Chains A and B, each alone.
Chain A
Amino acid sequence: MINTLIEMFSYTFLVRAVVVGILVAICAALLGVSLVLKRYAMIGDGLSHVGFGTLAISTAMNAAPLTVSIPIVVLAAFLLLRISENSKIKGDAAIALISTSSLAVGVIVISLTTGMNTDVCNYLFGSILAMNKDDVQLSLVLAVVVLAMFVLFYHKIFAVTFDENFAKATGVKTNLYNMLIAFLTAITIVLGMRMMGALLISSLIIFPALTSMRLCKKFRSVTICSAVVSVVCFFSGVVISYTQATPTGASVVIVNILAFMLFWAANSIKGGFQNEKV
């Protein structure tokens, strides 16, 4: 086991990918708690599809993927947020509309330029080889910024997540903090998308939060627990994908499913004990 790890980390591209991946996993897990509780989980999914479209366009334009993707996905995040707050339009339908449209645009752009090839598969399902050195530096900076913002605004995010009406009534600028959450989510998704794949990145947001909610009872412990769960699952997933030669993104998701089932079982057993005591 130790030997495998030493062997793994003798490849610099793997070290880079794992470092960025762990930071993205932490960001996604922290934001995920708030998104899941606010019933915004689908926004993450919608954004990753928009991200796919922007990846295709940036490849066609021969531009750096992150610099094209980030502004467009951030814009899409604000748009989706507005849509889901506006009760006149059905939020889930609008999200489906935007995600399928971006998928279609992406596919058309790819087929007109490079043609359908392994790149497309990598965009959809992720590849550990996707990051070059410049990407890694930008990703590291952005991930640290997302983390710092989350810590700084943690209490505000709690207030807005638990009860938006109350927060608004007592003078908290809820729109601003909702936009902050959407903004941070958009950046996190773009950073993680190429490694995890456009179809799988939203699992990093949803799974750790749901997993830790099985067992934890406080907002702070849910937040910390989901960050830990997310990192452990990501790391195990990468190791498994290295040893078994399975795709990285899918391996991470599989480990997340196992963790979820484990926590769920632990909660049922705990609940059973408590019932017996009574």
Chain B
Amino acid sequence: MALITCQDASFAYEGHIAVSGLSFQVNSADYLCVVGENGSGKSTLIKGLLRLKTPQSGRVMLGEGLKPDGIGYLPQQTAAQKDFPASSYEVVLSGRMGAKGILPFYTQDDKDIAGKNMERLGIGQLRDRCYRELSGGQQQRVLLARALCATKKLLLLDEPVAGLDPVVTQELYRLIADINKNEGLTIIMVSHDIHSGVKYASHILHLKNTQAFFGPAEDYIKSSVGRRFIGETAEGAHRAEGGE
């Protein structure tokens, strides 16, 4: 059985159907990129996968022993976090909290896992630095390390490169692709950036309040939906550059 299976699922937001007709599978070690314009139902789908929202109809099934709280989630940053007084290590360690249930304190094991994940993402030296004083890229790595602390199987990334400059963006994409290849972690990434999506991801899910496309990234480039969307965003980017 696949890691995640959606069977004709739909999700509602405040009474309105936000996205419907979702039928797709995510297998172990896949890298799925979810694309679509604002309001196309991407955030609602994320809430559905995290089981923070139950489907209005259809089913979402988790397989291979994946539990809803075993998903490593990288949410979008909130305004309150930007000036939050906490060390990077405190933030990363809090990724272990979900697994602890009612137990009040962290064990040595939890601390080792947090330290190891920070080393793995190259932020070991930022351990005692204040989260709010880090650069945008460093903050994202801290949150990614926290997400890794919460999962063994699946990372769910919500616009991980929003607000980062191009160089840092590419570094972060490479890091995520690296985690996917070398450690076999399944990745689901919501993104605006379709070009990097088709470059790194194995599968594409395109939402337009319904499922406009789902399949391997190679097929997406050739599909009419994909060709149009890639063309539009390329044109948009071109226009933006020309305008500067």
Contact = CB atoms under 8 A, between A and B. Distances in A.
B104 A153 contact: yes
Contacts of B175: none
Nearest to B91: A162
A2 interface: no
B86 A156 contact: no
B78 A171 contact: no
A169 B146 CA distance: 13
A170 B73 contact: yes
Interface residues of A, number: 27
Interface stretch (B94-102, B117-125, B179-187): B94-102
Contact of A158 (B75, B94, B99, B133): B94
B50 A169 contact: yes
A27 B128 CA distance: 27
A63 B220 CA distance: 73
A186 B128 CA distance: 34
Interface of A: 37-39, 152-156, 158-159, 162-163, 165-172, 213, 216-220, 222
A167 B130 contact: no
A218 B86 contact: yes
Main secondary structure of the interface of B (DSSP, over half): mixed
Contacts of A218: 85-87, 90, 128, 130
Contacts of A170: 69, 71, 73, 95, 97-99, 150
Contact of B105 (A155, A169, A219): A155
User: Which of A158, A171, A216 has the most B CB atoms < 10 Å from its CB?
Assistant: A171
Contacts of A220: 90
B81 interface: yes
30 contacts: A38-B80, A152-B104, A158-B86, A158-B90, A163-B78, A165-B75, A165-B78, A166-B94, A166-B95, A166-B146, A166-B147, A168-B50, A168-B52, A169-B69, A169-B73, A169-B98, A170-B69, A170-B71, A170-B95, A170-B150, A171-B69, A213-B85, A217-B133, A218-B87, A218-B90, A218-B128, A218-B130, A219-B84, A219-B86, A219-B87
